[in-house]
Chains A and B, each alone.
Chain A
């Protein structure tokens, strides 16, 4: 790689020597998916910036063919082609002709591509989004283009639900052609759907069809005779658009009918917001979350010592202990002074498919009298049942109810850790408690938050920074996990 860059650099320096009034420059290519960077060398001539074709082919992983019949070069990417014709500012991409500002041209025998070809024509060929930041000279290659992953439906007694799952969250617009048709306008998306058009055949929806139309993608919902009203909303994880079509007026504002099983159609989740529950039968992987981090310091424990530092130290020691004593995989949500929101921590835990989630913190209160080691599980008094159902649907996320399935096991884990602490210290200093903790709410695994001691209490405060106490904490948490693992394995055997 270094050798190639050097070579290109030397070629450009040589070119500069031969071409009067030319100027060399670079631009950065940032692939956000793979987090890789690439530097492209450019050459300016007559106010136009060019990049050697070889560099473009290599950087974008394209293949190149010479079309001798038409005197053009064909660049290909995953079956799509775009043409380059020297001295002509025209490209043919997928049988359509596009013009751009400056022609590709040979400079000292090397075919050079103008920058505006890269910015404007390559995105038509490539399946990723691109954005050019001219001030920083960075071309960002983003995530994959929008794709419709599936089209599903479910028929209930008084409404029909259509779910359009996409690979990422997208903006959409509903156009009414009542009483016959609802059209969902989406940005241009690709789709290979085996059930397109979808035959629904309910009293409110006849068919659903996805089509491409002049640079946009449309979902056409053919309405049935008893159509009265509809409601729509977007959900995440996975990203999807939900359209409920009702046979009663104002159907969107009625109670949460979603909890009834569908009469016809694919099996949709109740409420369509719950992630799939897993039943752990043993412990194969543990995720440890050192509380706070980055700009969120947590409690100030002393001069230049913060809660975020202690939680990371203990998490690293705990990680080593669990690996050594249980032989299982251990992941840390952060291994440095990094800022993560509670939701990002939970999402990370869920994506690693860990079997246990342990968040580490230091506690604090308004008086020095409260002390002790506390293990918290989720309490969810905050899920407001009185909230208007429509608002609830819009605001609810897939993570809102995720932990509820695992509460029994989370409490068992908490009790094992508390017992291990009290036995080890021959005290009753440890206790289990509940609180509406954001970091636990979305975890699809048994999950606890451990408050190692109170900074506001002089005894706890002194102990928290001591290595012996940290060793004790690490030991009792590991003991608790070992006992919990045994319990899971016994239950699964029975």
Chain B
């Protein structure tokens, strides 16, 4: 019986350590980025985009009323943010509800989970799975979604030379079965007809 008294606390301590380990793992484990070798910064915190101090103007690319092309909408973000924070703020603006007559091509519930910029100026944006799972599908819709993100970043930040979309930490071939997302986009995606 004396031995049993020792046994219970030891088991409880082991369970406690194990649970703490699990909790720490799930709280702090980073996303899986495959073979990408990344340098730069990461942030998972939301940026406070309330405009109390100095601001700078940016343009976000949104879908026009006819649903066939992108147009820019001017917005303001705080200017005293780091580059990573500014990008985060711009994406938050892109995802938020647009004014009447314009549409955001980013599916509801999509979150920017993390963001990296490597030494070559390629920005890797890791979105939550909603960007893929809740997408309405179709080539034009996919082009508008990818184009709005890529164009918004390339247009506003000269430091960003390329934009690659990731979903839940992994590289993707396409967002909805059509557009090549295997490499960073280094030019804005234009949607006007060629003929």
Interface of A toward B, CB cutoff 8 Å: 291-292, 296, 298-300, 307, 341-343, 361-370, 376, 381-388, 391, 395, 415, 418, 431-439, 441, 449, 451, 454-456
Contact B186–A385 (Cβ < 8 Å): yes
Contact B193–A382 (Cβ < 8 Å): no
Extra pairs beyond A384-B183, A386-B162, A391-B120 (18, CB < 8 Å) = A296-B177, A342-B178, A365-B140, A366-B63, A367-B65, A368-B67, A369-B67, A369-B68, A370-B66, A370-B67, A382-B185, A387-B184, A434-B194, A435-B143, A436-B180, A436-B185, A437-B178, A454-B140
Contact B180–A369 (Cβ < 8 Å): no
Instruction: Check A370/B68 contact, CB under 8 A, given A431-B193, A438-B178.
Output: yes
Tell me, rounded to whole Å, the shortest Cβ–Cβ distance linking A440 to chain B.
Answer: 9
Contact A376–B188 (Cβ < 8 Å): no
Instruction: Check A387/B141 contact, CB under 8 A, given A367-B66, A369-B66, A381-B186.
Output: no
Bound form: Cα–Cα A352–B120 in Å? 39
Instruction: Check A363/B140 contact, CB under 8 A, given A381-B186, A382-B185, A434-B194.
Output: yes
Which residues of B sit under 8 angstroms from A366, Cβ to Cβ?
Answer: 63, 67, 103, 105, 136, 141, 144
Q: List 9 A-B pairs, minimum CB-CB distance, nearest first.
A: A364-B138, A367-B67, A381-B187, A384-B186, A370-B68, A438-B180, A365-B67, A386-B161, A369-B66
Which residues of B sit under 8 angstroms from A341, Cβ to Cβ?
Answer: 173
- The chain A residue sitting closest to B65, CB to CB, is A367
Contact A365–B138 (Cβ < 8 Å): yes
- The chain B residue sitting closest to A377, CB to CB, is B194
Contact B194–A384 (Cβ < 8 Å): no
Tell me, rounded to whole Å, the shortest Cβ–Cβ distance linking B69 to chain A.
Answer: 9
B111-133 vs A, CB cutoff 8 Å, 1 = contact: the mask equals 00000000111100000000000
Report the tally of A-B residue pairs with Cβ distances under 8 A: 138
Bound form: Cα–Cα A376–B63 in Å? 20
Interface of B toward A, CB cutoff 8 Å: 37, 63, 65-68, 103, 105, 119-122, 136-141, 143-144, 161-162, 173-174, 177-189, 193-195
Bound form: Cα–Cα A296–B172 in Å? 14
Bound form: Cα–Cα A438–B195 in Å? 22
Tell me, rounded to whole Å, the shortest Cβ–Cβ distance linking B195 to chain A.
Answer: 5
Bound form: Cα–Cα A388–B162 in Å? 11
Which residues of B sit under 8 angstroms from A342, Cβ to Cβ?
Answer: 173-174, 177-178
Q: Which of A382, A433, A441 contacts B186 (CB 8 A)?
A: A382
Instruction: Check A387/B67 contact, CB under 8 A, given A342-B173, A441-B180, A456-B138.
Output: no
Which residues of A sit under 8 angstroms from B195, Cβ to Cβ?
Answer: 415, 418, 431-432
Which residues of A sit under 8 angstroms from B140, Cβ to Cβ?
Answer: 363-365, 370, 451, 454
Which residues of A sit under 8 angstroms from B184, Cβ to Cβ?
Answer: 382, 384, 387
- The chain A residue sitting closest to B178, CB to CB, is A437
Which residues of A sit under 8 angstroms from B178, Cβ to Cβ?
Answer: 342, 361, 435, 437-439, 449
Q: Which of A291, A343, A365, A433 contacts B141 (CB 8 A)?
A: A365
Which residues of B sit under 8 angstroms from A383, Cβ to Cβ?
Answer: 183, 186
Instruction: Check A291/B177 contact, CB under 8 A, given A367-B103, A370-B68.
Output: yes
Instruction: Check A456/B67 contact, CB under 8 A, given A291-B177, A365-B140.
Output: yes
- The chain B residue sitting closest to A436, CB to CB, is B180
Bound form: Cα–Cα A366–B136 in Å? 8
Bound form: Cα–Cα A388–B144 in Å? 28
Tell me, rounded to whole Å, the shortest Cβ–Cβ distance linking A363 to chain B.
Answer: 5
Which residues of A sit under 8 angstroms from B193, Cβ to Cβ?
Answer: 431, 433
Which residues of A sit under 8 angstroms from B67, Cβ to Cβ?
Answer: 365-370, 456
Tell me, rounded to whole Å, the shortest Cβ–Cβ distance linking A346 to chain B.
Answer: 11
Bound form: Cα–Cα A418–B37 in Å? 44
Bound form: Cα–Cα A277–B37 in Å? 33
Bound form: Cα–Cα A384–B123 in Å? 12
Q: Which of B119, B122, B139, B182 contacts A451 (CB 8 A)?
A: B139
Contact A388–B120 (Cβ < 8 Å): yes
Which residues of B sit under 8 angstroms from A418, Cβ to Cβ?
Answer: 195
Contact A362–B185 (Cβ < 8 Å): no
Q: Which of A362, A365, A395, A433 contacts B183 (CB 8 A)?
A: A395
Tell me, rounded to whole Å, the shortest Cβ–Cβ distance linking B124 to chain A.
Answer: 12
Contact A292–B177 (Cβ < 8 Å): yes
Instruction: Check A387/B138 contact, CB under 8 A, given A382-B186, A437-B180, A441-B180.
Output: no
